[in-house]
Amino acid sequence: MASAEEGGSTATQYIQHHLTNLKFDLSSMQIDGHASGFWVLNVDSLFFSIVLGVFFLYFFRLAAKKVTASEPSGLQNFVEMVVDFTDTQVRDIYHGDSKLIAPLALTIFVWVFLMNFMDLIPVDALPAAAHASGIEYLKVVPTTDLNITFGLSISVFLLMMFYGIKVKGGVGFLKETLTHPFGPWLAPFNFMLFLVETIAKPVSLSLRLFGNLYAGELIFILIATFTLGAGASLLAIPMFILQVLLGVGWAIFHILVITLQAYIFGMLTIVYLSMAQQDH
Amino acid sequence: MSINATLLAQMIVFAIFVWFTMKFVWPPIMQAMRDRQKRISEGLASAERGVRELNEATAKAEEMVGKAREQSQEILSNAQRQANETLDRARDEARAEGDRIVAAAREEVDQAVASAKEDLRREVGELAVVGAERILKREIDAKAHNDIIDDLVTEIR
């Protein structure tokens, strides 16, 4: 949580700088920090998201390649623990026969956890390194980017629709949206309720993850501003001690938060997908 | 902090990662775990079966040893009895043979005694007759005095 940051002299600028993505404008095909509109890629979010996903898949694939039914070794033990945990959760909640749900849940658990974990890296470490190599903006926690969390939750939402229609059939699915829960005479009201219920799921799913991580990241940034520009004043020493203590405390608490949020996201995905396949 | 094309990119990346997990990560690991589970339960079952078989084998072995002991006892007692019988028979035969030999010897002795007595009697008779002739200086009609001679012979005997 080093506080030296050349980009911003005041706390507001410092915070603003930390919350700005490294953007790539697809229309002008160049890196542009102030790009706006839809056809813009948040390069930093995507980069860390992909790197962490590849990291996850690399180690799990490594374990899967060397997997043996006899005595498992270190990596295999760990991977099996995670896989077994996922399998147990999926088995408890989901009773359909889709082969997709369990791998999907495993991917969400591990990937979201890893993306959340970026929050525990000191807020200035990677941006400072990037700045040194000429990159102006860098946001290192992908799950503090709404695009990333909505990317996950909308994918889950599409799967919910897909499985709902697949299990109940197009007509059955439509019928349920119109007749459930108050019977066919209140069809418009039922449909409104269905819309709210259905849209609330992916929105709450992604906003919960985003909110928790964004708030966590913001508090880390705020803690980092304690000694910002304090120079050699007398106040610098107690402020530095306070910053270290708060930073450590928040980081320890955050270990719980990032794990819990990854768990909640994965569990709710399983729950929503199993609900989508159930007949009311 | 606005929604942009990152959303689409993230969805595509997510789909690819999930597909990869489903295709290359999940099945081999689950398979291995299931195999191990099966192997362990098989191992436990076979251990149990082994113990049961061992117990059965021990019981069978004990039974066989008992039977063998019984059999050997029987054979031993049979042999003892047979030996005793053989011994008894040999003893009886030996005794009978000895008796026979003794009896034969006795008979022979008796015969020899009898023939010796006969010879003696005849000679004594003749001697008596000769003696009497000499005394009487005449011939004695053997026939007439046969009864006397017989009396003599009887006395001698």
At residue A74, the 3 state secondary structure works out as helix
User: Domain residue spans in chain A?
Assistant: 11-276
Q: pLDDT higher for B2 or B15? A: B15
DSSP structural state of residue A192: H
pLDDT at position A40 is: 87
Q: CB contact, 8 Å: B135 with chain A? A: no
With 0-12 CB in 10 A as exposed, 13-18 as middle and 19+ as buried, what is B109?
Answer: exposed
- Asked whether residue B127 is domain-assigned, the answer is yes
Say if residues A273 and A155 touch (Cβ distance below 8 Å): no
Number of domains in chain B: 1
pLDDT at B110 over 50: yes
User: Would you say residue B131 lies in a domain?
Assistant: yes
- The DSSP line for B109-121 is HHHHHHHHHHHHH
* pLDDT value for A4: 43
Global pTM reads 0.74
pLDDT reported for residue A3: 41
Chain A contacts in chain B segment 11-70 (CB below 8 A):
11, 13-15, 17-18, 20-22, 24-26, 28-33, 35-36, 39
Say if residue B138's pLDDT is above 80: no
Q: What's the average model confidence in pLDDT over B78-106?
A: 95
pLDDT at A128: 84
Helix (H) or strand (E) holding A42: strand A40-42
What is chain A's pLDDT, residue by residue, as a tens digit (280 residues)?
Answer: 344 444 445 788 888 888 888 888 888 888 877 777 888 888 889 999 999 999 999 999 999 888 888 888 888 889 999 999 999 999 999 888 888 999 999 999 999 999 999 999 888 888 888 888 888 888 889 999 999 999 999 999 999 999 989 888 888 888 888 887 777 888 888 889 989 988 999 999 999 999 999 999 999 998 888 877 666 677 778 888 888 999 999 999 999 999 999 999 999 999 999 988 886 5
Q: Three-state SS across A171-185?
A: HHHHHHHHHCCCCHH
What is the average pLDDT value for chain B, to the nearest integer? 89
Residue B16 lies in a domain: no
Query: Cβ A40–B4 below 8 Å, yes or no?
Result: yes
Overall average pLDDT of the B100-129 stretch: 91
Contact flag B4-A39 (C-beta cutoff 8 Å): yes
Residue B89 lies in a domain: yes
Tokens 């046969």, located at residue:
B146
Among this protein's residues, is A91 annotated catalytic? no
For residue B141, give its domain range. Answer: 28-154
CA distance B26 to chain A (A): 6
